[in-house]
Structure 1
Amino acid sequence: MLPRKMSAGVVMALMMAGSAAAQNFTLTSGAMAEGLQLSADQVFKGFGCNGGNRSPDLAWTNAPKGAKSFAITAYDPDAPTGSGWWHWSMVNIPANTTQIKAAASGTPDVPKGALELKNDYGVAGFGGACPPPGHVHRYIFTVHALDVDALDLPREASNALAGFMIGAHSLGEARLTAVYNR
């Protein structure tokens, strides 16, 4: 129920202002671009693929106010698994971080305090694209702004559990979707 003095127009304006602020949260990368093919650097090495298996550089701007940490996910919704394929999940990225260097996954370049979870290849860190031959898959890279300093997750948390906790603490997200086929 709205307070009597607040009109529906004021409520709509407030909702649109919040939406506009969330639209300013932007993710960019020098390694990939929206809707374009991933380079060989971001392709898995194994499973019949012969790429560099390097995590891309990511940079974000205009995070929502109140962000206390960030999480990064890379997800392929087109994988023939019934549940997609998680290529990368990094949580507990400090709030003062606004970029991740190329090939940072699994190295000291991961921000201090951040936790890389196991991907669907079964190893912690980034696992590159490797769709079945003849298929075009989307790879959705997302930076999530969170309202907590750190998610309360066990070190061996599944991507489903991480996704649930990210969703429960999300202030906003910025996405970049690339594609890959072989």
Structure 2
Amino acid sequence: MTLERPIAPDPYELLPTVPSFTLASDDVQNGEPMDAAYAHPAAGGDNVSPQLAWSDFPAETKGFVVTCFDPDAPTGSGFWHWVLVNLPAGVTQLPRGASGADLAGAFTVRNDYGEQGYGGAAPPPGDRPHRYVFAVHALDVEHLDVTPDATPAYVGFNLTFHTLARAVIRPTYQAKE
């Protein structure tokens, strides 16, 4: 049974408009279903973060933040799956399974599972496919002034004031019934 509720807006449609750049992945594609490898163990997945690579960002970029957000989660506020903060400007890709462990001084904040690192897709069984918004934010600062104890919402608030450009891929995932 599919839950009947409105489609949530894309989170970046609600924020100030910024230029875009290129984000590609060998593992996930825009609008296409993700493999179970990128799902949370609660949904029978391997909880592996996908490979991501980006280019054509503004020359004045000083750092990056990588996020994954599910706007379709039945919470009223979406669900943060991954917030990787303070990647240096020289890092332009993440290998599959990177999650946030020892990436050139970058760190992850707690996701909405309450865990550090990547937390894979796990929509409720029977729900329609959920969108997983993987975004790379090019920053006008080397580091956001946040700590690993910050909430994803607080990181997002700080991103609003420091994002020069943003690149996004929106794969989907639907739990088996």
TM-score normalised according to structure 2 size: 0.86
Q: What is the identity, as a one-letter code, of the residue corresponding to 1:96? A: G
- Percent of matched pairs sharing the same residue: 46
For structure 2, list consecutive stretches of 5 or more residues without a partner in the other structure. 1-16
In 1, the alpha carbon distance for the partners of 2:100 and 2:87 equals: 14
| Residues 104-132 of structure 1: CA deviation (Å, up to 9, x unaligned) | 11534xx2110111100000110000001
Do the aligned partners of 2:132 and 2:171 also contact (CA within 8 Å) in 1? yes
- Per-residue deviation at 1:37? 0.3
Q: Relative to total residues, which structure has the larger strand share, 1 or 2?
A: 1
In 2, the alpha carbon distance for the partners of 1:30 and 1:159 equals: 26
The residue number in structure 1 matching 2:27 is: 31
Pair 1:167 & 2:160 matched: yes
Q: What is the identity, as a one-letter code, of the residue corresponding to 1:35? A: G
The residue number in structure 1 matching 2:4 is: none
- Per-residue deviation at 1:100? 0.3
Q: Relative to total residues, which structure has the larger helix share, 1 or 2?
A: 1
Match of 1:152 among 145, 154, 157: 145
Do the aligned partners of 2:140 and 2:164 also contact (CA within 8 Å) in 1? yes
In 2, the alpha carbon distance for the partners of 1:141 and 1:148 equals: 21
Q: CA RMSD in A?
A: 1.4
Q: What is the identity, as a one-letter code, of the residue corresponding to 1:45? A: P
Q: What is the identity, as a one-letter code, of the residue corresponding to 1:73? A: T
In 2, the alpha carbon distance for the partners of 1:155 and 1:50 equals: 28
Moved over 4 A (4+): none
Pair 1:54 & 2:51 matched: no
Query: How many residues of Structure 1 are paired with residues of Structure 2 in the alignment?
Result: 158
Q: Select the structure of larger CA radius of gyration.
A: 1
Q: What is the identity, as a one-letter code, of the residue corresponding to 2:156? A: G
| Residues 65-117 of structure 1: CA deviation (Å, up to 9, x unaligned) | 21000000100000011100000000100000100000011534xx2110111
The residue number in structure 1 matching 2:92 is: 98
1:165 aligned counterpart, secondary structure = helix
For structure 1, list consecutive stretches of 5 or more residues without a partner in the other structure. 1-18
Pair 1:22 & 2:19 matched: yes
The residue number in structure 2 matching 1:41 is: 37
| Residues 142-181 of structure 1: CA deviation (Å, up to 9, x unaligned) | 0000000100012200000000111110000000000010
In 2, the alpha carbon distance for the partners of 1:146 and 1:100 equals: 17
| Residues 18-41 of structure 1: CA deviation (Å, up to 9, x unaligned) | x9x934x11011011110001011
TM-score normalised according to structure 1 size: 0.84
In 2, the alpha carbon distance for the partners of 1:34 and 1:97 equals: 22
